[in-house]
Amino acid sequence: AQSVSQHNHHVILSEAASLELGCNYSYGGTVNLFWYVQYPGQHLQLLLKYFSGDPLVKGIKGFEAEFIKSKFSFNLRKPSVQWSDTAEYFCAVNGPPGTASKLTFGTGTRLQVTL
């Protein structure tokens, strides 16, 4: 079965600091990868996704993520965070084949950005 690990449970950064949130998955074959964000009191929203092609994908609000197949990783980055980025971030993976459209989510990382 697929598993997804997010090792950073709670991250506190000052505004303008750079962000990198880790995501590792277990299945070594073809996967589809996602990052979702949950702002306080709001729905989960899609930040970005990777299916194929360029392993560096750009999403909304200045976020990007890099797929490194050899490391089974899909880390989320942002060069300069804003107070409004305070939220919980979830990595999700679709795969292996046979799992149809099912997504497996990580445990989430709570990001707190201070002024």
Partner 1 sequence: DGGITQSPKYLFRKEGQNVTLSCEQNLNHDAMYWYRQDPGQGLRLIYYSQIVNDFQKGDIAEGYSVSREKKESFPLTVTSAQKNPTAFYLCASSMRTVLYGYTFGSGTRLTVV
Question: What are the residues binding partner 1 (CB under 8 A)?
Answer: 1, 4, 6, 9, 32, 34, 36, 43-46, 49, 51, 90, 92, 94, 100-108
Residue 69 CA to residue 30 CA, distance in Å, equals 9
Q: C-beta of 113: minimal distance to partner 1 in Å? A: 20
Burial of 87 (0-12, 13-18, 19+ CB in 10 A): buried
Q: C-beta of 98: minimal distance to partner 1 in Å? A: 11
Nearer to partner 1, 1 or 115 (CB): 1
Nearer to partner 1, 19 or 94 (CB): 94
Which structure tokens are listed for 12?
A: 């506190």
DSSP helix/strand/coil, 71: helix
Nearer to partner 1, 10 or 15 (CB): 10
Q: C-beta of 16: minimal distance to partner 1 in Å? A: 28
- Using DSSP bridges, classify how beta strands 10-14 and 109-114 pair: parallel, antiparallel or unpaired: parallel
